[in-house]
Structure 1
Amino acid sequence: MVWFALDDGFDTHPKVRKAGNAAVGLFVRLGVHATKHLTEGHLDGDIVTAYGTAATIRKLLTVGMLHEPGHGCPRCPQPADGGFYIHDYLDYNKSRAQIEAAREAARKRQQKGRDTARANRNGRDSAANLGSKSRQNERSSAPNCDENAPLFEDEPAGQEGSSRRDTHEGATVVPSPPLPSQNYDVADVDRGPTGSSAPDLDAYAPSPIDTDGWTLADGLRRWAVNTFGAGIDPDYEAAQFVSHFRSTGQSRRNWNDEYQKWVRRSAKFASERANRPSNVIALPNGQQLTGTDAKVAGWMAIAEQLRQEGDSA
């Protein structure tokens, strides 16, 4: 499933206010149609006229939310004759190639998960069958062994008298070797757990954010920098964002909207940390006190100030 992206400032944008509710409703329908059919913002004239009236189409063209052939916007391609193009579509939405690549990657992950689960299931069934046959052979051969076995006297072997190893007291207990653990493929360096015993978790439960194929679009990257300045790193935040939702396995209806919330929270926390008062106090001799020492020094300074004010009263 693919989503037509609208940022959280869409409703108050000057173009949207000027266009009016009816024309904006047409714009949303056209955007959903373009996203569903992977047209990368291009629209057939028949679709536009079927969805909207001449008045609403003219409003979108006038405010620049929609383009017709021969338009003067330098950032948007020219539509075909009789067609239209949604302004800045690829700044906020994925291209056809990106969506198809994400779908193919999701298909391969799911197929890998099914193949791995099938191989593990077949391995367990084979082990169970082998164990069952082995137990049957042991039961069938046990009587023959008892009948043909030679008789031995119950005495120490290879020496006269008893050895400490032949008696219970002082006997050395040799531990059994550990049972072999199930072998898994070694995980890739950039994926999850490492080590020969770490299972490939992605193969069992593909993450919804991976299945949806979310990536950071250029429009969102510019929005983060323009809103919060150079102090924010959109690509780093995107990596943390994907890692978080990949580990939790949670799903969201609109990943672009969720990413904007993530960046706002990150910027808010960074601002709070920067404005947090310091717990370091510098003494007249240049020594610095931190932690509990700084708190005690602060209390003593307050007490001294109150004493001086009392003496001067």
Structure 2
Amino acid sequence: MPWFPVDDGFAFHRKAVRAGNAAIGLWTRAGSWCAQQLTDGFVPEDMVTVLGTTPQAEKLVRAGLWVRAEGGYQFHQWTENGRNPTREDVLLRRKKDAEKKARARAAKAAKSEAQQVNEDCPQGTPEGRTGGLPEGVGSTPPLPSPPQEKKTSSSSGPRKRATRIPEGFTVTAEMVTWARENCPNVDGRRETEMFVNHWTAKSGKDATKHDWERTWRNWLLRSQKDAERRAPARAGQTTKADRIDALDAFLVPDEPHLRALPGGAA
């Protein structure tokens, strides 16, 4: 929409003062109407009486703001120095704006259609389309998909789902034997109680495990490592293996249930 500009110094311009406030009211309203109707500053006589009066129009002529023209009045220097755009300029600009908007809408519609095709049509069909063909007319067969390597899994079945520690977590005899062999410096009962209390109280995603027996074994192994670090071997201290070898030395070779005692007595 074109604008009808008014200079900020026009209020006290000698032509405005000479014409008077009433005539300037006509001049302002007529300028707005000319910009809207693209008349290039021409005001027909019948519009003069709608927007003001003929005496007011004559005052504008005498003040040098209008000139008489065939069938009405013409604004003085309507387009000079780019003061107001011509009808031709406005129509050309509107045409360019309309073409630009049309291109933008077409691009947006094409993008939207392509996205809809990708979402609605099955994968592997030509251009994502198979329907809409007359009966008996086949579409171009899709290209075969390259063979995909099958993922191998260490287990034959689906992966076990992670769970929280079971109620009444129980240590089996096998687990006790393992603990005695691998964690001799750990108090199994105490560590198991701490293990259960810890995982029962813990919350969040880290509180679930796939294998609670392995988690228990790792807990005891860490406790064994901490115990070894806190109590390093002293000079002359025997290890478990040393104690077992010493015990075997007391066994009678032919009768393992008997022990050899000092002095030859059995």
TM normalised by structure 2 equals 0.44
User: Which of the pair has more CA radius of gyration?
Assistant: 2
Higher helix share: 1
TM normalised by structure 1 equals 0.37
- The higher relative CO (CA closer than 8 Å, separation ≥ 6) is in 1
